Amino acid sequence: MSTSETKSYGPELIADYVKRLPGKPGVYRMFDEAENVLYVGKAKNLKKRVTAYTGYQRHTIRIQRMIRATHSMEFVVTDSETEALLLEASLIKKLKPRYNILLRDDKSFPYILVRKDHEAPQIKKHRGAKKIKGDYYGPFASAGAVNRTLDTLQRAFRLRNCSDSIYAARTRPCMLHQIKRCSAPCTGEIDMAGYGELIQDAEDFLKGKSDKLRHRLQEQMRASSKELNFEKAAEYRDRLQALAHISGGSSNASSQTFANGDVISIFSGGGQSCVQVFFFRGGQNWGNNAYYPRHSKEDEPAQILDTFLAQFYLNKPIPGHIIVSEDLPNRDLLSAALEERSGRKVTIARPQRGEKKSLIEMARKNAEESLARKLAETASQARLLRQMAESFDLDSPPDRIEVYDNSHIQGTNAIGAFIVAGPEGLEKKEYRTYNIKDDETEPGDDYAMMREVMRRRFTRLLKDDKLIWPDLVLIDGGKGQLSAVSETLADLGVLERTTLVAIAKGPDRNAGREVFHMPGRSEFMLQPRTPVLYYLQRLRDEAHRFAIGTHRSRRKKQMKTNPLDAIPGVGPGRKRALLSHFGSAKAVKGATQGELEKVEGVSRKLAETIYEYFHE
């Protein structure tokens, strides 16, 4: 259900909507004058929930500000409150409303994949859709947690991790076999039955059936010792040690009674919160992650954690058991919603005693320490930005810094790029690159490249009101680059909307003696070995790393591209025919028009096009 915008706004507008709302579950959205989403909420009874906003004086100053800013609302009626909860979480993650608690930095988790589409199953790290035939184990908290587990699994079970092509090409065991990391099924050092037993042992361990496996390995080690086969006994000993290492997990937190589930704890302080999530599968700790949800200072930890869980499990595998550090206000509703999504029973509990209580306390301690580190880093970052404001005569510390650099080799594969930094540090999701494509730009003309990048970047800023303008623009270069950028921004009429600074290497390109250039100010240097100078060097180096990395990727991709791909009228079929006839793209390039016409599917006109493409 959607209603049209009225001329009133704030409490008056909300009261007008209430008259037409049903007493059914649903989701509502509040919009400001520019149609930006202010807030997304759910309700068991839409009429009652929205009515609460008409009691303007009963709310906090922050919510009063939101109510005053509301110029329109939209409503969706759902069949149940659980459906409303899931829809609310989905809309919050998609729209990122200003007044909602928001889970940030939410990425997918990696798995361990045991491939089953080959006679000798391969073990590898996997992220993304589960399209490959095999068994998936996870999720793991990070790629590092997967890599550590894979490393110890290789030591314990000597499973192959090479690609099928490398496996097929082997004529003798590789180095991994020599260092006892692979049993070398590729060259028959172990038969397929024996390798299959290793795979089964590894999967039993990943499934949590480790006690029986350990007892068997211990018996085999003792038996080998009695038979004086000390080399074999040492092999079993090494496998047992590797298994013990995996069980301990990356944080030395393990569980005897909590075999499968997530441990989630929150710690709040300084107006911010940290949520720690530990993954336990098969009785093993598969790592942990720290999250810092966005919320207001008035939000209580229980409410923050409640909202966090609804968003966290939208695109994550849902375990059967979740233990949390707080009494969640919507625990039963959240359980029902997760059950609806997963198709199985899901319990959410706050343990009061025993090992589960200890796990929650361990997670809470991790959350407290992580938040302390983040607050310390934030305070340090704030000091750096204040010092930067003083160095460049800014009115206030910059909230958004954009640092620009170019990369090319003699003008080829030219790339312009910028990185973004602010109070939270580097904002890598905001990084952008530009392929230099202006025909008038001479190859290798850095000034023209910088003009094109600035023209394209700031033209888009002018067109899109939702984009954030930089308070400070740093350019890797000297007077020439600064002049080119200043002229471009002046032509666009936006020179006064930001502060420009060019940072150039000092005498003899000596890092630490950088020279700074600003419009209307003589060149100057900052005191050497100061934190703010070191920070500026880091920003410049990060922009250079990002630009040259993108340039190298593009160059590598171009090197793999067949020159026939760029010829109009030559699709995959004709490309195959040409390569089959001539043997290589180089031979096609050297062919005459008459020779080209002899290829099946190549007309006289296309032969002429191909010939002219190579002989302009």
pLDDT, tens digit (0-9, with 9 covering 90-100), for 381-398: 999 999 999 999 999 999
Q: In this predicted structure, what is the pLDDT of residue 283?
A: 74
Q: In this predicted structure, what is the pLDDT of residue 253?
A: 52
Q: In this predicted structure, what is the pLDDT of residue 475?
A: 94
Return the CA Rg of the chain.
31
In the numeric block, which tokens belong to residue 225? 């010792």
Alpha helices in 409-475 (DSSP H): 446-463
* 262, 281 Cβ separation under 8 angstroms: no
Q: Which residue has tokens 């350990």? A: 214
Model confidence at 208: pLDDT above 80 = no
Q: In this predicted structure, what is the pLDDT of residue 250?
A: 43
Confidence of residue 511 (pLDDT cuts 50, 70, 90): low
Q: Where are the domains of the chain?
A: 11-95, 111-248, 261-372, 401-558, 563-614
**What are the contacts of 440-446 at 24+ separation with CB within 8 A?**
441/414, 442/411, 443/408, 443/410, 443/411, 443/412, 443/414, 444/408, 444/410, 444/411, 445/411, 446/406, 446/477, 446/480, 446/481
What is the distance between the alpha carbons of residues 521 and 500, in angstroms, rounded to a whole number? Answer: 11
Query: Which residue in 504, 302, 297, 274 sits closest to 370, CA to CA?
Result: 274
Query: Which residue in 101, 129, 104, 130 sits closest to 115, CA to CA?
Result: 130
Q: pLDDT of 91-142, one tens digit each?
A: 999 999 999 999 977 677 899 999 988 999 999 999 888 888 999 988 888 8
**What are the contacts of 223-228 at 24+ separation with CB within 8 A?**
none
Model confidence at 247: pLDDT above 70 = no
Phi first, then psi, for residue 204 (nearest 5°) are -60, -40
Q: In this predicted structure, what is the pLDDT of residue 306?
A: 95
Residues 541-559, mean pLDDT to the nearest whole number: 79
Q: Of 102-111, 224-233, 264-273, 276-285, which one has max mean pLDDT?
A: 264-273
Q: pLDDT of 513-540, one tens digit each?
A: 889 999 999 999 998 888 899 899 889 9
What is the distance between the alpha carbons of residues 249 and 142, in angstroms, rounded to a whole number? Answer: 12
Model confidence at 257: pLDDT above 70 = no
Dihedral angle at the C-alpha atoms of 433, 438, 439, 443, nearest 10 degrees?
-50
Please report which helix (H) or strand (E) contains residue 193, including its range.
Answer: helix 192-206
According to CATH, the superfamily of the domain at 11-95 is: GIY-YIG endonuclease (3.40.1440.10)
Q: Of 105-119, 240-254, 562-576, which one has max mean pLDDT?
A: 105-119
**Is the bond preceding 329 in cis, omega lying within 30 degrees of 0?**
no
Model confidence at 252: pLDDT above 60 = no
Q: In this predicted structure, what is the pLDDT of residue 558?
A: 60
261-372: CATH architecture: 2-Layer Sandwich (3.30)
Q: In this predicted structure, what is the pLDDT of residue 376?
A: 83
Q: Which fold has domain 401-558?
A: Nucleotidyltransferase; domain 5 (3.30.420)
According to CATH, the superfamily of the domain at 563-614 is: 5' to 3' exonuclease, C-terminal subdomain (1.10.150.20)
Q: Measured over all CA atoms, what is the biggest interatomic distance in the chain, rounded to whole angstroms?
A: 92
* 290, 274 Cβ separation under 8 angstroms: yes
Query: Which residue in 346, 391, 313 sits closest to 89, CA to CA?
Result: 313
**What are the contacts of 324-329 at 24+ separation with CB within 8 A?**
324/264, 324/265, 324/348, 324/349, 324/350, 324/360, 325/264, 325/265, 325/266, 325/301, 325/350, 325/360, 325/363, 325/364, 326/266, 326/301, 326/302, 326/350, 327/302, 328/302, 329/302, 329/303
Model confidence at 565: pLDDT above 80 = no
Give the three-state DSSP class for 79: coil
Q: In this predicted structure, what is the pLDDT of residue 561?
A: 63
Common-topology check for domains 261-372 and 401-558: yes
Q: Kindly report the number of other CB atoms within 10 A of residue 590's CB atom.
A: 12
Q: In this predicted structure, what is the pLDDT of residue 560?
A: 59
* 240 vs 494: which has the higher pLDDT: 494
Q: In this predicted structure, what is the pLDDT of residue 385?
A: 94
What is the distance between the alpha carbons of residues 420 and 278, in angstroms, rounded to a whole number? Answer: 31
Task: Classify residue 6 as left (phi > 0), alpha (psi -120 to 50) or beta.
Answer: beta
Residues 211-223, mean pLDDT to the nearest whole number: 81
Lowest model confidence (mean pLDDT) among 31-35, 160-164, 576-580: 576-580
Q: In this predicted structure, what is the pLDDT of residue 2?
A: 45
Q: What is the pTM of this model?
A: 0.71
What is the distance between the alpha carbons of residues 17 and 70, in angstroms, rounded to a whole number? Answer: 12
* 455, 465 Cβ separation under 8 angstroms: no
* 266, 350 Cβ separation under 8 angstroms: no
Query: Which residue in 121, 125, 231 sits closest to 186, CA to CA?
Result: 121
Q: In this predicted structure, what is the pLDDT of residue 278?
A: 93
Residues 508-514, mean pLDDT to the nearest whole number: 65
Q: pLDDT of 406-450, one tens digit each?
A: 886 655 668 889 999 999 889 988 999 998 877 676 766 888 889
In the numeric block, which tokens belong to residue 246? 């995996």
Any residues with CB less than 8 A from the CB of 571 and at least 6 apart, and which? none
Q: In this predicted structure, what is the pLDDT of residue 246?
A: 57
Q: pLDDT of 295-320, one tens digit each?
A: 998 899 999 999 999 999 988 889 99
Residues 59-69, mean pLDDT to the nearest whole number: 92
Confidence of residue 403 (pLDDT cuts 50, 70, 90): very high
Confidence of residue 245 (pLDDT cuts 50, 70, 90): low
Q: pLDDT of 10-19, one tens digit each?
A: 889 999 999 9
What is the distance between the alpha carbons of residues 239 and 392, in angstroms, rounded to a whole number? Answer: 60
What is the distance between the alpha carbons of residues 341 and 339, in angstroms, rounded to a whole number? Answer: 5
Task: Classify residue 400 as left (phi > 0), alpha (psi -120 to 50) or beta.
Answer: beta
Confidence of residue 197 (pLDDT cuts 50, 70, 90): confident
Q: pLDDT of 470-481, one tens digit each?
A: 999 999 989 999
* 452 vs 249: which has the higher pLDDT: 452
Mean pLDDT of the chain: 87
Q: 3-state secondary structure string, 155-183?
A: HHHCCCCCCHHHHHHCCCCCHHHHCCCCC
Q: In this predicted structure, what is the pLDDT of residue 6?
A: 46
